[in-house]
Amino acid sequence: MIVMVCIDDHNGMMFNHRRQSRDRAVIERVLRCAESSRLWMSEYSYRLFPGESRDQLAVGPDFLERAGRGEYCFVEDRDILPYEAELEAIVLFRWNRSYPADFYFPVEILSRGWSMTESEEFEGSSHEKIIKEVYKR
């Protein structure tokens, strides 16, 4: 499985059970990345995605358990560490801002055999600069 996660400058993902931010350009890139695959996510994340893309989406509370090899997971509100053995790639979208956070991406995972294979900077719809980083083993 390939996970896609949005994080701030301090690796924060959520605050008080809410996403820190959102950006239309990130959602468009997530859909493009996963266009040849199923895109798994929680019910919470599903609301971010436009109606025309919903045929591609798979939603459920156990989406990380159900995602198969080569399938993408958009992760906002789950810890990925229990699924580390199943991960094929990690895609980070960095907001390049600091937000309040109480739920964090486990950045220590990247020091366990992961290498950045791609980095791309782009302008978002509500963020001046977003950086997409792809990590593979």
**Residue pLDDT, tens place only, 78-101:** 999 999 999 999 999 999 999 999
Question: What are the CA-CA distances from residue 3 to residues 72, 83, 125 (Å)?
Answer: 6, 10, 22
Q: Which helix (H) or strand (E) holds 32?
A: helix 24-33
pLDDT value for 54: 81
DSSP SS3 for 121: strand
pLDDT value for 51: 84
Distinct helix (H) and strand (E) counts, the chain: 3, 10
Tens-digit pLDDT profile for the chain (137 aa)? 999 999 999 999 999 999 999 999 999 999 999 998 999 999 999 999 988 778 899 999 999 999 999 999 999 999 999 999 999 999 999 999 999 999 999 999 999 999 999 999 999 999 999 999 999 99
Distance CA 32, CA 4 (A): 12
pLDDT value for 53: 78
Q: Tokens 């990690």 correspond to what residue?
A: 90
Q: Is the pTM of this model over 0.75?
A: yes
Domain residue ranges of the chain, discontinuous segments joined by +: 2-136
Alpha-carbon dihedral of residues 70, 13, 135, 28, nearest 10 degrees? Answer: 60
In the CATH hierarchy, which top-level class contains the domain 2-136?
alpha beta
pLDDT value for 55: 86
Q: Which helix (H) or strand (E) holds 13?
A: strand 12-15
